Amino acid sequence: MLLRYSAQAQGKPHKRAEIYTAREHAISRRDIDPEAVKIVRRLKSAGHSAYIVGGAVRDLLAGKKPKDFDVATDAAPRQIKRIFRNSRIIGKRFRLVHIFFPDKIIEVSTFRAPDSGGDTNVFGTIQEDVARRDFTLNALYYCPLEEIIIDYIGGVRDIRKKKIVPLIPLKVIFSEDPVRMLRAVKYAAILGFSLSFLTRRRIKAQASLLAGISGSRLTEELYKILQSGEAAPIFREMYALGIVRYFIPGLDKRLKAQVFRESFFAALTAHDTAAFRGMERSLMIAPLIEDYVKLLAREALPEKLQFKDAYGAVKKMLHPIVAANKDIAIALVPLFRRKKPSRPPKRGAGREKLRPAASRLSAAQV
């Protein structure tokens, strides 16, 4: 292992970072997105430092296949845009650059400095960028050209120990951004890592802070969970920690019934076997609402449940999640579909096949 030093005020050397070589970290450059490698190479050729960061490095070290490859650099957004014509600057709270390729978008961020007077567009050094990250496993910097990992905070060791260690003090990490609670649980389930007793206790104590997060942010986190392939264990842990109560209160209320809870988690487990990146959102919503709609149909006896009533009830149950209206409607369609006729339809009845669903759901169909 190589070490990176800096001089203290007294002139004494001070260890800043540990550098893992290719032999020590075992990440193969063949596993790195070639477009991300090109971005790093071009930024370095232009005189900047650049690294693959965050989730991609974490997943590769944990033996998982990354879904995205993000790049961090000391180049400012406008400098990045001048280097890459196929790019666009996005964001107001913190400016990022999206570089477009035919089948993907790679996000490039500038090293961030600590907040200064509420201005989040303050750029800094790589060491300052480390301090802005949430957990040690997300604060690793990989150079695909030199094939080294730069580790300022012991993130490699934490990954090898299968631990999720907050980089920000526990007393403030979740109050600064409550969404980190969802991410901590998600990382633990996907990677097979453990949350410490103190972290779990802090999440339980501060789960109510999620009630103040915008519906749009919670919705994006929900979809990431539902396409992770580990939605069932993630939701189980969130329910045990009291997170679902503030994430999706209407669902939490139903999960208190054991029969509903067992059926719900069985549906999520089945969903996980088919989940994939880019899955249509209507398919991701389906396991969340299937058992709820069947329950509504039973409660509607002796009447039949109307499609419009189920639609309204699902919207209310999912709040504050802001799923698109069309996605909810499409997810409901299979639950209201008529049974296939036992004999061929009469001539001229072909139009009936184009109707996606019956307008009512009876108890016999659930």
76 CA to centre of own chain: 26
pLDDT per position as a tens digit, 104-152: 999 999 999 876 444 566 888 999 999 889 999 999 999 999 999 999 9
Q: What is the mean pLDDT of the chain?
A: 88
Domains 1-167 and 169-257 share a fold: no
Position 317 pLDDT exceeds 50: yes
Position 185 pLDDT exceeds 50: yes
pLDDT score of 17: 83
Least confident segment among 134-138, 156-160, 174-178, 301-305? 301-305
pLDDT score of 19: 94
Of 220, 168, 235, the residue nearest 199 (C-alpha): 168
If one compares 165 and 338, the residue with the highest pLDDT of the two is 165
pLDDT score of 355: 44
pTM (predicted TM-score)? 0.83
Position 227 pLDDT exceeds 90: yes
Q: Rounded to whole angstroms, how far apart are CA atoms 257 and 318?
A: 17
| Most distant CA atoms of the chain, gap in Å | 94
Annotated active-site residue 74? The verdict is no
pLDDT score of 278: 82
Give the sheet arrangement for strand 104-110, strand by strand: 2-7, 13-20, 148-151, 140-143, 50-53, 70-73, 104-110, 96-101, 87-90
6 with 132: CB under 8 angstroms? no
pLDDT per position as a tens digit, 16-74: 789 999 999 989 989 999 999 999 999 999 999 999 998 999 999 999 989 899 999 99
Position 4 pLDDT exceeds 80: no
Position 349 pLDDT exceeds 60: no
Position 300 pLDDT exceeds 90: no
Task: Give the model's confidence band at 299: pLDDT under 50 very low, under 70 low, under 90 confident, else very high.
Answer: confident
Architecture of the domain whose range is 1-167: 2-Layer Sandwich (3.30)
126 with 74: CB under 8 angstroms? yes
Annotated active-site residue 70? The verdict is yes
pLDDT score of 336: 86
Architecture of the domain whose range is 169-257: Orthogonal Bundle (1.10)
Tokens of 41: 């190479």
pLDDT score of 122: 81
CA angle 241, 242, 246 (to 5 degrees): 140
Three-state secondary structure of the chain = CEEEEEECCCCCEEEEEEEECHHHHCCCHHHCCHHHHHHHHHHHHCCCCEEEECHHHHHHHCCCCCCCCEEEECCCHHHHHHHCCCEEEECCCCCEEEEEECCEEEEEEECECCCECCECCCECCHHHHHHCCCEHHHCEEEECCCCEEEECCCHHHHHHCCEECECCCHHHHHHHCCHHHHHHHHHHHHHCCEECHHHHHHHHHHHHHHHHCCHHHHHHHHHHHHCCCCHHHHHHHHHHCCCHHHHCHHHHHHHCCHHHHHHHHHHHHHHHHHCCCCCCHHHHHHHHHHHHHHHHHHHCCCCCEEHHHHHHHHHHHHCCCCCCHHHHHHHHHHHHCCCCCCCCCCCCCHHHHHCCCCCEECHHHC
Sequence spans of domains, the chain: 1-167, 169-257, 280-366
pLDDT per position as a tens digit, 159-169: 999 999 999 99
Percent of the chain exceeding pLDDT 70 equals 86
Active-site residue, selected from the candidate residues 68, 177, 309, 327: 68
Active-site residue, selected from the candidate residues 74, 129, 134, 151: 134
Active-site residue, selected from the candidate residues 70, 74, 158, 291: 70
